[in-house]
Amino acid sequence: MKTYKINQLLLICMCLLICSVSFSQDKYIDKNGTIVFEASEKLFEEVKATNKSTTAIYNIETNEIAALALMKGFRFKNSLMEEHFNENYMESDSYPKAIFKGKIIDFNAKENLNEIAVEVNVKGVLELHGKQKTIEAIFTIQKINNIIAITGSFTVSPSDFDIEIPKIVRNKIAKVVNVSLDFKLVQK
């Protein structure tokens, strides 16, 4: 009787292990993804920052994609600009992260994901500075060896997220900000 219960327990444990392995095979992650934003205006100093420590997750089964970037991870050429970005505009202590949750639309990754780069439609919600905005964009996706590369860009406006730009610098910062991303995801 004891061996029957032990065998049952072992069978249950093996089933749970197999299930967890099979579920994790559908998820890919990048802990060093890159996001760049540019809000430069001609004739003025460049307003551009890069964050190379963005975390992104992609589930090839559901086509869901999510990304998280810490605001203090953005680096500018000018350290004073970085300080103003975190303290005055983004209020990074109060709103420490940007989160995107979305989905690749009308794409069967299991059938169409390969070495050939394919443009895909992505729709989701960007949460930034305590506000949310629906984002629709076209990204490029491809799988080379065991790495899924997702690249793309979209635009946002500081006013979309109630980010106030002081009058003294308002003409030096673009009203439309270009955001680009580059993720190299590996199987989790």
At 172 the pLDDT is 87
Tokens of 182: 């580059």
Q: Contact at 8 Å (CB) between 57 and 48? A: no
Q: Cα(39)–Cα(149) distance, rounded to whole angstroms?
A: 25
Tokens of 101: 């949750």
pLDDT in tens, 29-75: 999 999 999 999 887 888 999 999 999 999 999 999 999 999 999 99
Q: Cα(184)–Cα(127) distance, rounded to whole angstroms?
A: 22
Q: Cα(29)–Cα(31) distance, rounded to whole angstroms?
A: 7
At 168 the pLDDT is 83
At 167 the pLDDT is 84
pTM (2 decimals)? 0.83
Q: Cα(19)–Cα(17) distance, rounded to whole angstroms?
A: 5
Q: Contact at 8 Å (CB) between 46 and 75? A: no
At 170 the pLDDT is 83
Could you read off the pLDDT tens digit of each residue along the chain, which spans 188 residues?
555 455 454 445 444 444 443 445 699 999 999 999 999 988 788 899 999 999 999 999 999 999 999 999 999 999 999 999 999 899 999 999 999 999 999 999 989 999 999 999 999 999 999 999 999 999 999 999 999 999 999 999 999 999 988 888 888 888 999 999 999 999 98
At 11 the pLDDT is 45
